[in-house]
C-alpha cells in the first residue's frame, strides 16, 4: 500500500522569507503523480503544484517549487517570498489510481 | 476543471439517525471519491465510486455503515448510517477528470457533521 508521510505537523515562516515543507512516500509502483494541496480555513482544497514521477525536472509554479528525489522517494515543497495568504494546512498527496494524503503541515506566516 | 456542489454544508444530527450527503458535479466525471477528515487532520479515503459499478471501500469502512450511490456521471451520495459521536467529522466529495493519473482531484467544500 502507498503511504505518504509529512513529518512536520507545524511550520512557521517570516513574511517574505522562504520555507520548505517535507514529504516522503512509499510505493512499489514506477508510474505515479505527486501533488501539494493547500487547505485554508474555508476547507476548500486548492492545488498548489503537481509533479510527474517520470520527469526529472522539478515542477515550479511562481513562488512554489518542489524538490523531487525519486530514488529517495522525497517530494518537498519550497515556498519563496512567503505571504500572509500562504498560511494554511498543506497536504502532500500521491496518486496512482486513487489519491492518498499525508497528515498535513500547518504553516503559519508571521508579519 | 470541475465545480462540485456538496450538500449540506453542515448538520447536527442525533445519534442513531442517518444523514445523506449529496455531491453534484458540473461535468461528467469517471471517478468520484469520498473522504473523511477529522478537524485538523488529514483526509482518509472512505471509498471510490465509479458509475455503473459497486463502490470500492477502503479498509475500516463498510457498505452497511457508509452506503454510496452513483446513479450517473455527475452525481453521488454518501449516507452515514446509525450515527454515533465518533462519526462527527468533515466529509468531502472529490472527483478526478479521468483515468489519467496526472489529472488533479477537485474537491467539494465538505460537509461538517456533528453527532450529538
pLDDT mean for each 10 residues of chain A (111 residues): 90 98 92 92 90 89 96 96 97 88 96 95
> Which residues in chain B have Cβ-Cβ distances shorter than 8 Å to A91?
42-43
> Would you say residue B101 has pLDDT above 70?
no
Question: Is the CB of residue A36 less than 8 Å from the CB of residue A66?
Answer: yes
Closest-CA residue to B45 (of B7, B78, B81): B78
Domain that residue B23 falls in: 18-107
Q: Residues B27-67: pLDDT tens digits?
A: 888 889 999 998 888 999 999 998 778 899 999 999 999 99
Return the pLDDT at A55. Answer: 85
Structural domain contains residue B113: no
Instruction: Evaluate whether residue B5 is within a structural domain.
Output: no
* CATH number of the domain where residue B85 is located: 2.60.40.10
Question: A31, A43, A54: best mutation site toward chain B, by most B Cβ within 10 Å?
Answer: A43
Q: How confident is the model at residue B99 (pLDDT cuts 50, 70, 90)?
A: low
Q: Is residue B37 part of a domain?
A: yes
Instruction: Answer whether residue B43 is part of any domain.
Output: yes
Determine the average pLDDT of the residues in B8-36.
94
Q: Is there a domain that residue B10 lies in?
A: no
* Average pLDDT, integer, range B4-16: 96
The rounded distance, in Å, linking the Cα atoms of B73 and A61 is: 31
Q: Is B9 a domain residue?
A: no
Judged by a CB distance cut-off of 8 A, whether residue A103 touches chain B is: yes
Question: Domain total for chain B?
Answer: 1
Residue % of chain B over a pLDDT of 90: 72
Q: A108 by DSSP, 3-state: which?
A: strand
pLDDT of residue A56: 85
Is there a domain that residue B71 lies in? yes
DSSP one-letter string for A18-87: -EEE--EEE-S-SS-EEEEEEE-TT---EEEEEEETT--SPPEETTEEEEEETTTTEEEEEE-S--GGG-
d(CA A58, CA B41): 28
**Cβ(B90)–Cβ(B112) under 8 Å?**
yes
Find chain A residues with C-beta within 8 A of B105's C-beta. 35, 45, 93, 95, 99
> Residue A51: what are its φ and ψ, rounded to 5°?
-135, 130
- Domains defined for chain A, CATH in brackets: 3-106 (2.60.40.10)
**Which pLDDT value is given to residue A1?**
66
Amino acid at each position: 500500500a502507498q503511504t505518504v508521510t509529512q513529518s512536520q505537523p507545524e511550520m512557521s515562516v517570516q513574511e517574505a522569507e522562504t520555507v520548505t515543507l517535507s514529504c516522503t512516500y512509499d510505493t512499489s509502483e514506477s508510474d505515479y503523480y505527486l501533488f501539494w494541496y493547500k487547505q485554508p480555513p474555508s476547507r476548500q482544497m486548492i492545488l498548489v503544484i503537481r509533479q510527474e514521477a517520470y520527469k526529472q525536472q522539478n515542477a515550479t509554479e511562481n513562488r512554489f517549487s518542489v524538490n523531487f528525489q525519486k530514488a529517495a522517494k522525497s517530494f518537498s515543497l519550497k515556498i519563496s517570498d512567503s505571504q500572509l495568504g500562504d498560511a494554511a494546512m498543506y497536504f502532500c498527496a500521491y496518486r496512482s489510481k486513487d489519491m492518498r494524503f499525508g497528515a498535513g503541515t500547518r504553516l503559519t506566516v508571521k508579519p | 476543471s470541475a465545480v462540485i456542489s456538496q450538500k449540506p454544508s453542515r448538520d447536527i444530527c442525533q445519534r442513531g439517525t442517518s444523514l445523506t450527503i449529496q455531491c453534484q458535479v458540473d461535468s461528467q466525471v469517471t471517478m468520484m471519491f469520498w473522504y473523511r477528515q477529522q478537524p485538523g487532520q488529514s483526509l482518509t479515503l472512505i471509498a471510490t465510486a465509479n458509475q455503473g459499478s459497486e463502490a470500492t471501500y477502503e479498509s475500516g469502512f463498510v457498505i452497511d455503515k457508509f452506503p454510496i450511490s452513483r446513479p450517473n456521471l455527475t452525481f453521488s451520495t454518501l449516507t452515514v448510517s446509525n450515527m454515533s459521536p465518533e462519526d462527527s467529522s468533515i466529509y468531502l466529495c472529490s472527483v478526478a477528470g479521468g483515468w489519467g493519473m496526472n489529472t488533479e482531484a477537485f474537491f467539494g467544500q465538505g460537509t461538517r457533521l456533528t453527532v450529538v
